[in-house]
Amino acid sequence: MNVSTYLDAIDMADPYKRYGKVLRVVGIMIESKGPAANVGEVCYIHPAKNRNSPIISEVVGFNNEKILLMPYSEVSEIGPGCLVESTKKPLTVKIGRGLIGKVVDSLGNALDETPLPKGLTHYLTEQSPPNPMLRPPIEKPIQVGVKAIDSLLTVGEGQRIGIFAGSGVGKSTLLGMIARNSSADINVIALIGERGREVREFIEKDLGEQGLQKSIVVVATSDQPALMRIKGAYTATAISEYFRDQGYRVNLMMDSVTRVAMAQREVGLATGEPPTTKGYTPSVFATLPKLLERTGTNEKGTITAFYTVLVDGDDMNEPIADTVRGILDGHFVMDRKLAERGHYPAINILKSISRVMNQVINSTHKQTANEVRSLIAAYEENRELIQIGAYKRGTDKEIDRAISYYPKIQSFLNQDIYDKSSLSESIEQMMDVLNGR
């Protein structure tokens, strides 16, 4: 037995525990003198009144020898002189199969206040994206269970999709349909910046018991500090990565990535970053690719990701929507006009695209989908003329054909919330529509 190794370890060990002291609190930012800590490490702030309940915070910056901290909870108990203790470690959460069917917060704690099951593994919330040369190409379609998507916007295993919509157009309902009907092994659902009222509604109505049985839900409501909302996105992505590395086909659904960007803007402004594009700080546009690139394929499994993007006033060119659309492998646009007509899910087929669709479908499917798209386009281009009766039948064969097929196509694309349709059934029904069956 080599005793010298142990003696060397004892010599190098620091027997003193060093603390810092809170100097000031400005908004959501806490400034302390010491302790020695690096950016990204977790620290405990010990309130003067209740030292047994430390407040967890994270180092987000420093100014000379002063540490800039941001808490994961409210700062109401923090005062000048409160002790700050460094853990010397970044945030980790407990992950494992025992989490399936659970609803947890951004730190991985069960929201129903029950103890977590045993046998879970500690896992870092911040990971690097897979090496691009080790990412297998996307070659297989994955069943989403929504006819409009499976037939005309087919999604591949490991694809990343943005769902762009204004408020109240049916994003959460669509995510619930995907979670229940998809052929993925596990769903990881991140509800970031949601109203507290909507969390239970989504779990009980949109997701349902059937969906929850193969899902893990991560919740960070809008009333929580900015850092908790950001960590909610990172925790959900880390859980997805853990199961992908076990060889599972994972669905990650995040509602919404816009609120993650807004939380990052709050952190950036608090640390002194200049507001640049429409008030967003540079760190927002650096964080988004790092977060979104972590999903997709690797040599062990796949994460098929669906990110909802809130578009203010249905403006598809606002900065976050534009950035996210450039990073992801496709986008589904939800149209308020379709929702107002009672057409659900309100996906605008002509404005939506799946960039890997042609890689994962056969030539017959591709030809049929292109034909249906062209018929929808022909009708929509001449909608006003048709509706006011200014178009005369026989003027244009393509428009005549579009008029006769349009009601059947719309009927096919309409789907009740609890209707389930497999990938093969959706394709077959689309072909039946074109063949007049």
Boundaries of every domain in the chain: 16-90, 93-360, 364-435
User: Residue 27: exposed, middle, or buried by beta-carbon count in 10 A (0-12, 13-18, 19+)?
Assistant: exposed
Per-residue pLDDT at 291: 94
Architecture of the domain whose range is 364-435? Up-down Bundle (1.20)
Per-residue pLDDT at 272: 85
Distance from the first to the final alpha carbon of the chain: 81
CA 229 – CA 233 distance, rounded (Å): 7
From the options 3.40.50.12240, 3.20.20.80, 3.40.50.720, 3.40.190.10, give the CATH code of 93-360: 3.40.50.12240
Just give the CATH number of 16-90: 2.40.30.20
- Per-residue pLDDT tens listing for the chain (437 residues): 578 887 877 777 777 777 889 998 888 889 999 888 888 899 999 988 776 788 899 998 888 889 999 998 877 778 888 899 998 889 999 999 999 999 999 999 998 888 888 889 999 999 999 999 989 999 999 999 999 999 999 999 999 999 998 888 888 889 999 999 999 999 999 999 888 888 888 888 888 888 899 999 999 999 898 999 999 999 999 999 999 999 999 999 998 899 999 999 998 988 888 888 788 999 999 999 999 999 999 999 999 999 999 987 666 778 999 999 999 999 999 998 899 888 999 999 999 999 999 999 999 999 999 999 999 999 999 888 888 888 888 788 888 999 999 999 999 999 998 898 999 999 999 999 988 76
